[in-house]
Amino acid sequence: MALMRRVVVTGIGPVAPNGVGAEAFHKAQLAGRSGIRRITQFDASSYPVQIAGEVDVNPEQYIEKRELRRLDRFTQLALIAGQLALEDAGLELEKEDPTRIGTLIGTGIGGMITWQEQSRVLFEKGGTRLSPFFIPMMIANMASAQLAMRYGFMGPSSTVVTACATGSDAIGNAFRVVQLGEADIMLTGGTEAPVAEMAIGSFGVMRALSTRNDEPEKASRPFSKSRDGFVLSEGAAVLVLEEYERAKARGARIYAEVVGFGRSCDAHHITEPHPEGKGAALAMQAALKDAKAAPEQVGYINAHGTSTPIGDRAETLAIKQVFGEHAYRLAVSSTKSMIGHLLGAAGAIEAIATVQALASGILPPTINLDDPDPELDLDYIPHTPREQKVEYALSNSFAFGGMNATLLFRRV
């Protein structure tokens, strides 16, 4: 068996409700700044849920206006994140072999906005009035494909769709591609644009979303006794994964090394996690085994931490199963407390938060933890960031259908 190559993160491109670009996103995390507001993308006044995480970005600054009309918003956000990540990585693309660079961008829902708009056209005007761009705008693989086409990357290109585990699954699969030598560089992550009537309405009738409409910035409150559901958000995140030796040779800045990837399935319920966190625990154990790391070496976990009553409890139980007494010495926090839930992009934006924590030695907080749930008794870094250097950090993502994915990073 060939020697597995080391893989590092050399560029990041966060496009989040509380910050666009590496510096803005990091500053927002350390300030504990929420990006949750009242919805502006449509009139939500008749909906029980009237809040979401919207990205403050002008796509025309990154993409030509003519091209924008042929791209769903989920693809637009991915292209912005990809550009930011490449710029952050400092790659001189004209000197690179395009056949050794690939893309692996996931999405949970894909072109929701396009689907909704074209459904209106179908039922109001008939099938002959549909846009010829409907299918290529809506299908899930188009973010990855468009990113490859924009830069001429001819290496492996694919898409992962595993609901809210998508972002982490995409990074984990891209990690394997570089590790096994199929490519030297992979642009990977997730993207989602679900702030639309159909998504807000359907998640709302499931009673999955917070209805704290009068206090949007306080609505996402993981691990709090008063949590009442997650906050739906849009956004994207792309990471540049690169083979370690070539990254070192070109003098690249390295945020962290990807050392482990684990996944599992609860095989339990279409939306609820296993009540004892069994699947989540299996994913964390698999990531540790993949990296040949001991549980005691992990110092920080960026939790899935959705702010749902069942989810936060199951994840806490899973952490205790995997880490035993060390669970109480771990620092844990939820990025979703500040930006809400980006669905298929969640794992990717949280991976960025994790590698920034490793690189800076500052762990991001869980905001809105005003009334801790007494059943959830770990160290969730309430309110303010913490200066603490850690060697290993986990990032968890769990999804509808019981799909679980965990990434393990190491400080370089």
Sequential DSSP letters for 305-317: --S-HHHHHHHHH
Region of residue 361 (left: phi > 0; alpha: psi -120 to 50; beta: else)? left
Distance CA 261, CA 291 (A): 8
188 token code pair: 């990977």
Distance CA 220, CA 18 (A): 13
Are the CB atoms for 147 and 78 separated by under 8 Å? yes
Burial of 303 (0-12, 13-18, 19+ CB in 10 A): buried
Q: What is the pLDDT of residue 70?
A: 96
Are the CB atoms for 395 and 356 separated by under 8 Å? no
Region of residue 381 (left: phi > 0; alpha: psi -120 to 50; beta: else)? left
Q: What is the pLDDT of residue 2?
A: 57
Distance CA 249, CA 252 (A): 8
Are the CB atoms for 264 and 107 separated by under 8 Å? no
Q: What is the pLDDT of residue 60?
A: 96
> CA quadruple 347, 360, 187, 265: dihedral positive or negative?
negative
170 token code pair: 């995409």
Q: Report the topology of domain 262-403.
A: Peroxisomal Thiolase; Chain A, domain 1 (3.40.47)
Mention every residue, 6+ apart, whose C-beta is less than 8 A from residue 131: 118, 121, 137
106 token code pair: 């996931």
Distance CA 122, CA 172 (A): 39
Q: What is the pLDDT of residue 371?
A: 96
351 token code pair: 């991976």
Judge: domain 7-249, CATH 3.40.50.2000: no
281 token code pair: 């625990």
378 token code pair: 């770990």
Residue 166 identity (one-letter amino acid): T
Q: What is the pLDDT of residue 1?
A: 44
Token pair 């468009």: residue: 146
Q: Are strands 101-106 and 185-192 parallel, antiparallel or unpaired?
A: parallel
Token pair 């999405």: residue: 107
Q: Are strands 298-302 and 392-398 parallel, antiparallel or unpaired?
A: parallel
Region of residue 120 (left: phi > 0; alpha: psi -120 to 50; beta: else)? alpha
Give phi and psi for 383, each to the nearest 5.
70, -50
Distance CA 41, CA 78 (A): 19
Q: End-to-end distance of the chain based on CA atoms, in angstroms?
A: 26
Closest CA to 191 of 98, 112, 102: 112
Are the CB atoms for 37 and 51 separated by under 8 Å? yes
HSE-up of 224 (CA within 13 Å, CB side)?
24
pLDDT tens for the chain, 412 residues long, are: 457 999 999 999 999 999 999 999 999 999 999 999 999 999 999 999 999 999 999 999 999 999 999 999 999 999 999 999 999 999 999 999 999 999 999 999 999 999 999 999 999 999 999 999 999 999 999 999 999 999 999 999 999 999 999 999 999 999 999 999 999 999 999 999 999 999 999 999 999 999 999 999 999 999 999 999 999 999 999 999 999 999 999 999 999 999 999 999 999 999 999 999 999 999 999 999 999 999 999 999 999 999 999 999 999 999 999 999 999 999 999 999 999 999 999 999 999 999 999 999 999 999 999 999 999 999 999 999 999 999 999 999 999 999 999 999 999 9
Confirm whether 164 is a catalytic residue.
yes
Closest CA to 12 of 2, 22, 23: 22
> Global pTM?
0.97
Residue 163's DSSP bridge partners are none
121 token code pair: 């056209």
Domain residue ranges in the chain:
7-249, 262-403
How many other C-beta atoms lie within 10 A of the C-beta of residue 236? 37
Residue 53's DSSP bridge partners are 36, 233
Residue 124 identity (one-letter amino acid): E
User: Which residue in the list 164, 183, 342, 393 is annotated as catalytic?
Assistant: 164
